Amino acid sequence: MTSLPATPPARKLGLVIDLDTCVGCHACAVSCKEWNTGGYPAPLTDQDPYGAGVTGTWLNRIHSYELEAEIGPAGVEEVGRTIYFPRSCLHCDNAPCVTVCPTGASFKREEDGIVLVDEDKCFGCGLCAWACPYGARELDQGSGTMKKCTLCVDRITDQSLEEAARVPACVQACPASARHFGDLADPDSEVSRLVAARGGYDLMPEMDCAPTNKYLPPRPRRTGNRGQGEAPRLEPLAEAGGFLGWLDRVLAD
Amino acid sequence: MHPALSVVIFTSFAGAGYGMLFLLGLLAAAQHHPADLRFNLACLVLTFLLMVVGLLASTRHLKHPERAWRAFSQWRSSWLSREAVAVMLTFVPAGVFALAWLVFVRLDGVWTLFPLLSALGAVAVVVCTAQIYASLRTIPEWHQPLVLPLYLAFALATGTLWVNAVTWSFGVTAPFAPVFALITLVLAWGLKLLYWRRIDGLKPASSTASATGLGRPGGVRTFDPPHAGTNYVMTEMGFQIGRRHASKLRRIALGLGFLLPALGCLVMILAAGPLGILAGWLAAAAGLAGVVVERWLFFAEARHVVMNYYRSQ
């Protein structure tokens, strides 16, 4: 059923992505592809994989952006910097991709809010991808069905895995701990506390999708007196005595 | 947005077909048409041809058309599903209407219910088609109150041109028919000019700054794409048409869709016989071709907010 759950899910599983610590290594994207091409949405096909026009289905894409320096009357107030920006499904509360689906393939789980596609029902019309502001859905040209982040639903619920491994593949792969997984409906969860402490925010709030995933902003950089005048001059060393002092005088002449 | 030929053909051809069905339904219920079985047959064949060409084109857009039956299930939330249901439901009264019209030539009594229901169904189908686009907030050029009246007006205008062409071919020349066609043409293209002016002045609510939550507007710019090649989102949503190219196509759409059919209608008013008939068919064909160009532009000029992630705007 492609209506949204009548009552909001009691748990809202999702990701918190820290743009301050993401180093743009793409390990999350690669491990996502590796896990999911054999998991719930399998396969994630590639077209012309070894040719010049390679393209394929990925559930996580890592962009990079440049922030311009902010220069005020007092000099540089915020230095310019590069931000790495992982982009994937945000598992929205008010998911337009679910309600537009004509076949019943797209759905939002009542128990934990995860947005999924039933690959056996999808007929590949692509309307859900049009409805999503975040580009989270890609129509797999090999299978002819819509693919999206599953939050590794077949992994986080797998009781045969040890508990530490029951997290999405992207979270486990991140070497910078920039990705956090948990229940965002619980105000005391680690992820909710992180969002509260760091000012986690929604992407494109004007689209009214009420995304579950939150992004943590880059921390402000210390600017010091950068950009203001010259560096302090070096002071000459104290004059040395004895043998080294004699040597210094002889060489300096 | 990438203008897929399947969807362009579907909305333009089926639109004309449902426009014809709407008009024929009303004319048949009012018994306001030539009492000629061949007229009824010609009208119905043309209507169903336009509808079926359009509907078949729409299935070409699906990667798994064998699962199309599932589209009847989600009418509670999805305009695409509602469209599928409306198409199927409309075939019921339209089928009875067609059979009865071919048996009785003119319908009266309880039989007038079926052409009226067919007309109602035709409106429902076009409303659903328009709402598929108008309900998408992610595409500001489509999320406009003008989109629904536009789809209805174009369906009515093109449908009227085809009905008139058939009518003239049967030697029936009612001067009001081309005048009515002219009115619908002015209405449809007037709305379109208004729409074009509206989308040309659109101030996007989203930006790379709001999409990423980074920096002041203009303070963030794309540095590097996530990958060297392309992907589905970029090819489907990233289609962009040059401004000069678009304005040339707008003029072509206006010429084909408005000027030529309007000229044809004037000729029909002035001349019966072969010249009027020829003008009628040329007007109908040009009118539909104009809507095909207009529909292509409807996609090509629409910009999806997801592209804020891909290029600085």
Burial class of residue A167, CB neighbours in 10 A (0-12, 13-18, 19+): buried
**Residue-level pLDDT at A92:** 97
Label each residue of chain B as H, E or C.
CCCCHHHHHHHHHHHHHHHHHHHHHHHHHCCCCCCCHHHHHHHHHHHHHHHHHHHHHHHCCCCCHHHHHHHHCCCCCCHHHHHHHHHHHHHHHHHHHHHHHHHHCCCCHHHHHHHHHHHHHHHHHHHHHHHHHHCCCCCCCCCCCCHHHHHHHHHHHHHHHHHHHHHHHCCCCCCHHHHHHHHHHHHHHHHHHHHHHHHHCCCCCCCHHHHHCCCCCCCEEEEECCCCCCCHHHHHHCCCCCHHHHHHHHHHHHHHHHHHHHHHHHHHHHCCHHHHHHHHHHHHHHHHHHHHHHHHHHHHCCCCHHHHHCCCC
Are the Cβ atoms of B64 and A131 closer than 8 angstroms? no
- The answer on pLDDT for B292 being more than 80 is yes
Establish if A249 belongs to a structural domain: no
Are the Cβ atoms of A139 and B73 closer than 8 angstroms? no
**Residue-level pLDDT at B313:** 45
B52-83: pLDDT as tens digits:
999 999 999 999 999 999 999 999 999 999 99
Residue A59: list chain B partners with CB under 8 A: none
Establish if A239 belongs to a structural domain: no
Lowest mean pLDDT among A54-63, A221-230, B216-225: A221-230
- The answer on pLDDT for B191 being more than 80 is yes
ipTM value for the complex: 0.94
Taking alpha carbons only, the member of A80, A83, A85 closest to residue A221 is: A80
Q: Model confidence at A230, in pLDDT bands (50, 70, 90)?
A: low
> Pick the residue with more confidence: A68 or A170?
A170
- Top residue of B55, B62, B64 to mutate, by most chain A CBs within 10 Å, is B64
- Top residue of B58, B63, B216, B308 to mutate, by most chain A CBs within 10 Å, is B63
B101-147: pLDDT as tens digits:
999 989 999 999 999 999 999 999 999 999 999 999 999 999 999 99
Establish if A1 belongs to a structural domain: no
CA–CA gap between residue A208 and residue A95 (Å, rounded): 9
Are the Cβ atoms of B226 and A87 closer than 8 angstroms? yes
Whether A163 contacts A172, CB under 8 Å: no
Establish if A4 belongs to a structural domain: no
Establish if A28 belongs to a structural domain: yes
A100-151: pLDDT as tens digits:
999 999 999 999 999 999 999 999 999 999 999 999 999 999 999 999 999 9
CATH number, domain containing residue A54: 3.30.70.20
Residue extents of the structural domains in chain B: 5-309
**Chain A: closest CA distance from residue B60 (Å):** 10
Query: If one looks up domain B5-309 in CATH, what number appears?
Result: 1.20.1630.10
**Residue-level pLDDT at B171:** 86
Establish if A88 belongs to a structural domain: yes
Establish if A243 belongs to a structural domain: no
Which residue is closest to B237 within chain A, CA to CA?
A130
Lowest mean pLDDT among A95-99, B95-99, B241-245: B241-245
**Residue-level pLDDT at A234:** 76
- The answer on pLDDT for B232 being more than 60 is yes
Percent of chain B with pLDDT over 90: 87
> Pick the residue with more confidence: A43 or B243?
A43
**Average pLDDT over chain A, rounded to whole?**
92
For chain A positions 34-73, those within 8 Å of chain B (CB to CB) are 53-58, 61-68, 70
Q: Model confidence at A227, in pLDDT bands (50, 70, 90)?
A: low
**Chain A: closest CA distance from residue B136 (Å):** 6
Q: Tell me the count of A-B CB pairs closer than 8 A.
A: 189
Of B76, B226, B308, the CB nearest to A61: B226
- Top residue of B223, B234, B304, B311 to mutate, by most chain A CBs within 10 Å, is B223
Of A58, A67, A124, the CB nearest to B220: A67
Tally of domains within chain A: 1
**Residue-level pLDDT at A233:** 72
**Chain B: closest CA distance from residue A17 (Å):** 12
**Chain A: closest CA distance from residue B6 (Å):** 11
Are the Cβ atoms of A105 and B80 closer than 8 angstroms? no
Q: What is the mean pLDDT of residues A181-186?
A: 97
Are the Cβ atoms of B138 and A133 closer than 8 angstroms? yes
Establish if A54 belongs to a structural domain: yes
- The answer on pLDDT for A52 being more than 60 is yes
Residue A62: list chain B partners with CB under 8 A: 226
Burial class of residue A159, CB neighbours in 10 A (0-12, 13-18, 19+): exposed
- The answer on pLDDT for A216 being more than 50 is yes
Which domain does A144 fall in, by range? 13-232
- The answer on pLDDT for A252 being more than 90 is no
Q: What is the mean pLDDT of residues B146-173?
A: 96
B214-226: pLDDT as tens digits:
977 668 989 988 9
- Range among B161-165, B171-175, B241-245 rated most confident: B161-165
